[in-house]
Amino acid sequence: MGPRILVFLVVALSQGCTIPAMTDEADFTALKALKDIWKNVPPTWVGADPCGSRWEGILCANSRVTSITLASMGLKGSLSGDIQSLSELQILDLSYNKGLSGPLPSAIGDLKKLTNLILVGCSFWGPIPDSIGSLPLLASLSLNSNGFTGSIPSSIGNLTSLYWLDLADNRLTGTIPVSTATTPGLDLLVHTKHFHLGLNQLSGTIPPKLFSSEMKLIHVLFESNKLTGSIPSTLGLVKTLEVVRLDNNSFRGPVPSNINSLTSVSTMFLSNNDLTGPLPNLTGMNALTYLDMRNNSFDDTEFPPWLSTLQSLKTLLADNPICQETAVTKSYCTVSQPNSSYATPPNNCVPASCFPKQHSSPNCKCAFPYTGLLGFRAPSFSDLGNITYFSVLEKSLMNSFKSHQFPVDSVHLSQPRKDLSQYLDLNLQVFPFGQDRFNRTAILSIGFMLSNQTFKPPAQFGPFFFIGDTYLHFTGEVRGSKKSSSTGAIIGAAAGGSVLLLLLLGAGLYAFGQKMKAEKAIQQNNPFAHWESNNGVGGVPQLKGARCFSFEEIKKYTNNFSETNDIGSGEYGKVYRGVLPTGELITIKRALREWMQPGLEFKTEIELLSRVHHRNVVSLVGFCLERGEQMLIYKFVSNGSLMESLSGKTGIRLDWVRRLKVALGAARGLAYLHELANPPIIHRDIKSTNILLDESLNAKVADFGLSKLMGDSEKGRVTTQGYLDPEYYMTLQLTEKSDVYSFGVVMLELLTGRRPVERGKYVVREVKMALDRAKDLYNLRELLDPSIGLDTTLKGLDKFVDVALKCVQENGSDRPTMGEVVNEIENILQLAGLNPNADSASTSASYDDVSKGSAKHPYKNSKDSFEYSEGFPDPKVEPL
């Protein structure tokens, strides 16, 4: 130990070790305010540095609190508005704390970075605040099993990133909100997969507008409410549905005839309504395994033949007139009371005799398990005596715990039973591994895995929820007052320790810290320090503005590639949203096997893509080439695609001026790829879903990284139907002019609000046939999107149409370049009295500069051939 280190430690100890805190002051103040009104906070919640001293349940990044997870801690108190100061908070999970009550503060809407709001099984009451609709990144909203009252806020329709919506088991009233001309509604949640609204007091009809073919819903759970009217036929448009529960309401009339279009549905509950007419024809619903239509008024007509065609279907028809017919098979009209005394058996051992409050695990070890109720809202089986179901569930739970490396020895299930809502309830005990009790970290981790739906049960169990009990037996703690007495013992022991020991320990920590800092510095300066030299891709990539991510990092940033982070899929593969430790949101595109390139090609492509930086192009953040995976990581763009806005599903109204600016931004991005990259980047799949809008509605061209960077002879069709260059069918080649054609189709989408091919009609052909330049609006009024503002003066619309039609000329040689398209749109904006550069630093002169030069690529002969960062050569450089 060097003398300087000794002097440093002695001085530090003599001054009380006044080392600067790692936690942002405002964050500490907010946490302290919560701590002051909560009872039973973890005993580590001492001092003034939650991040530095690692308060249990608190995660930080860059001195800011990013996560609070405190499931099953026995907290008591309320949630105050002080939480609004945690402006970097992404996850708030206070589940299974029955002692938490009171209203949810409206200040919750100030947490703009929040992605997960999970308050399952608490005692919060009062209305759900409208401000909850102000959380643009929220992916999971779980407020089930509380005491919330009032109506469902229509503002939830603003949550376009929402994946999971669970408001079940509250006391909510009123109607299901859908959008109007002035307010949002649940129909705008086209990316949401779960509508769980059961066990409330909702009334009125299900608005037909609630459902559409663009939705991605898999669960519609509206059971046990006071809903009336008929079942809307629009339900049959949601082809992704797997579970439908409309039972225990007051629905009337026949079941919609198109219900059999839901060919992915496995479980459907329609019981305890007043449905009439013939039994619905479910021919073709081959995935259906459980159908409950009891206690309705279906006609006593001839028994439908389709029932015999669905061999694996369990059908319940009891208490319907049809069951009075003698020809009806009794099995359909009798209800056996589900009963089971199942309990997980010992694993080839003799159960141990344990101390009071301890339990013997399936491995015959005495311990204090973590307990709770595991509930399944729509199981597709009714035979609770079949123990195979439960053994499969036990294995699934254990596999999930092991994959997360949780210290779990075994799980025990018992007392399976159906409650009044036909939920399947089981008692769950989770036993600790290697000791007789869990520590707090383990309970917090297990609780969060079950509350945020990371665990995926076997398919036959359907959607689930978990209500955990307060855990009272933490390792090394004696539960008593607000603060655990162990805290005092620890402090006392530390104070009474040897000064020499402190010095030695401090020196060791100092040396270790210096070593870690050095390693971190090496990693930051050389992010490929661990690049495998034998991975078949040569030396490390030469990147600019991008980095290499490990598979473990991506796994962490996407919450183990959870469904909550799954925001879509395409031909290339699945798309996930992730959060970096800095709080920056990213989009991860995970390639399917059939799309993966040879390693050297992938490396070459990311080297080129990393040099693409432009205001109107989605930036590549990095990549992952590890464990047989190929992933591209981009910056997250918050307002979704142009197509979603044109369809009205984002709630963003694009008037004429906004559409002009979107067209200009997208054109600039595409021109940049064509006219500065060397070799040129041909996008090959320009379409309205590949033009994204950021928070300021700036257009950004996306997915160019999923096409190849091509030379002169690249072949192969990528372009989506309706956008494809007609010349491709003769040449089998895609060129820059192919992108121009596709962009022209996008311009027509901006005009009409229609998809390229809609109801068998091709927008290019429709516009050309209707066009009459001698008439007002070129005779296109009937084709124009009403949202464009037809009651206003649409300055420049005629010239916009002219540019679009030039782009979709049959012959590529007749089409303009993208640089020329940019100039034309800039002129249109000026004609409309607008500054084309009001929201951008790029200028039209930059395109003129390029066209006047002798070389097409201004950097072609320089050593910076691939340093094509920012706009065209102009003294006014665009910002990133």
Range in 604-608, 680-684, 698-702 the model is least confident about: 604-608
Q: Does domain 644-852 have CATH number 1.10.510.10?
A: yes
Give me the pLDDT at residue 452, please: 84
Q: Quickly count: other Cβ atoms within 10 Å of residue 575's Cβ.
A: 17
pLDDT at 854 over 50: no
What's the pLDDT at 778? 87
* Residue 766, burial from CB neighbour count under 10 angstroms (0-12, 13-18, 19+): middle
pLDDT in tens, 131-189: 999 999 999 999 999 999 999 999 999 999 999 999 999 999 999 999 999 999 999 99
pLDDT of residue 506: 52
Average pLDDT, the chain: 81
Task: Please give the Cα distance from 757 to 764 (Å, whole number).
Answer: 9
* Active site residue ranges: 685
CATH architecture type of domain 359-468: 2-Layer Sandwich (3.30)
Residue of 868 and 656 predicted with greater confidence: 656
Mean pLDDT of 346-365: 89
Identify which of 291, 275, 173 has the alpha carbon closest to the alpha carbon of residue 229: 275
The tally of CA atoms less than 13 A away on the side-chain side of residue 753 is 20
pLDDT for 612: 82
Average pLDDT, integer, range 484-511: 45
Percent of the chain with pLDDT over 90: 48
Asked if the model's pLDDT at residue 461 lies above 60, the reply is yes
Residue 708: pLDDT over 70: no
Which has more confidence, 488 or 155?
Answer: 155
Directed axis angle between helix 499-525 and helix 3-14, to 10°? 110
19: pLDDT strictly greater than 90: no
pLDDT over 70 (residue 305): yes
Tokens of 132: 């909850």
Burial status of residue 163 (CB atoms within 10 A of its CB: 0-12, 13-18, 19 or more) = buried
CA angle 175, 179, 183 (to 5 degrees): 100
Q: Comparing 29-33, 280-284, 310-314, 485-489, which segment has the lowest mean pLDDT? A: 485-489
Angle, vertex CA 814, rays to CA 810 and CA 817, nearest 5? 115
The dihedral sign for the CA sequence 200, 203, 206, 210: negative
Judged by phi (left if over 0) then psi (alpha if -120 to 50, else beta), residue 229 lies in left
Mean pLDDT for 52-75 is: 92
Least confident of 321-330, 353-362, 597-606: 321-330
* Ordered strands of the 408-418 beta sheet: 408-418, 424-432, 370-376, 464-468
Over the stretch 513-567, which tens digit does the pLDDT of each residue have? 555 554 444 444 444 444 444 455 555 666 666 888 999 999 989 888 888 788 8
Question: Using an 8 Å Cβ cutoff, are 144 and 166 in contact?
Answer: yes
> Quick one: pLDDT band at residue 732, thresholds 50, 70, 90?
confident
- Do residues 307 and 332 make contact, with C-beta atoms less than 8 angstroms apart? yes
CATH of 52-204, one of 3.10.129.10, 3.40.50.720, 3.40.50.150, 3.80.10.10: 3.80.10.10
What was the pLDDT predicted at 853? 34
Q: 378 pLDDT exceeds 80?
A: yes
Scored b (16 or more CB within 10 A) or e, 698-724 reads bbbbbbbbbbbbbeeebeeebbbebbb
pLDDT digits (tens, 9 = 90+) for 632-667: 999 888 888 999 888 877 778 889 999 999 999 999
Task: Check pLDDT > 60 for residue 707.
Answer: no
Asked whether the predicted pLDDT for residue 706 surpasses 70, the reply is no
Confidence of residue 499 (pLDDT cuts 50, 70, 90): very low
410 or 849: which leads in pLDDT: 410
Q: Is a pLDDT exceeding 50 seen at residue 604? A: yes
Instruction: Return the structure tokens found at 322.
Output: 């049809």
Single-letter code of the amino acid located at 597: Q
Q: Calculate the CA dihedral of residues 257, 258, 264, 270 and round it to 10 degrees.
A: -40
pTM for the model stands at 0.65
The identity of residue 131, as a single letter, is S
Res. 424: pLDDT tops 80: yes
Please give the structure tokens belonging to residue 501: 């020991």
Residues 437-452: tens digit of each pLDDT: 999 988 998 989 898 8
CA distance 210 to 207: 5
Q: Per the structure block, which two tokens stand in for 156?
A: 């939830």
Task: Please give the CATH number for the structural domain made up of 547-635.
Answer: 3.30.200.20
Q: H or E stretch including 822?
A: helix 818-831
Tokens describing residue 605: 């492509």
In sequence order, what are the beta bridge partners of 221? 196, 245
- Residue 866 reports pLDDT greater than 60: no
**Whole-number pLDDT of residue 490:** 40
Instruction: Report DSSP letters for 558-624, one per residue.
Output: TTTT-GGGEEEE-SSEEEEEEE-TTS-EEEEEEE-GGGPPPHHHHHHHHHHHTT-B-TTBPPEEEEE
Question: Are residues 243 and 265 in contact, defined by beta-carbon separation less than 8 angstroms?
Answer: yes
What pLDDT sits at residue 44?
92
pLDDT, tens digit, for every residue of 200-255? 999 999 999 999 999 999 999 999 999 999 999 999 999 999 999 999 999 999 99
Which has more pLDDT, 4 or 469? 469
Mean per-residue pLDDT, 869-880: 29
* Sequence spans of domains, the chain: 52-204, 359-468, 547-635, 644-852
Given this model, what pLDDT does residue 22 score? Answer: 84
pLDDT exceeds 50 at position 848: no
Measured CA to CA in angstroms, residue 647 lies from 575, 652, 744, 813 at distances of 21, 10, 19, 33
Task: Determine the pLDDT at residue 521.
Answer: 44
Work out the end-to-end distance of the chain between its first and last CA atoms, rounded to an integer number of angstroms. Answer: 48
Quickly count: other Cβ atoms within 10 Å of residue 680's Cβ. Answer: 18
Q: Is the pLDDT of residue 293 over 70?
A: yes
pLDDT (0 to 100) of residue 698: 93
- Ranking 615-629, 776-790, 814-828, 852-866 by mean pLDDT, the lowest is 852-866
Q: How confident is the model at residue 415 (pLDDT cuts 50, 70, 90)?
A: very high
Which one has a higher pLDDT value, 103 or 309? 103
| CA separation, residue 815 to residues 737, 806, 807 (Å) | 7, 6, 5
Beta bridge partners of 243: 219, 267
Q: Please tell me the distance from the alpha carbon of residue 232 to that of residue 34, in angstroms, as a whole number.
A: 46
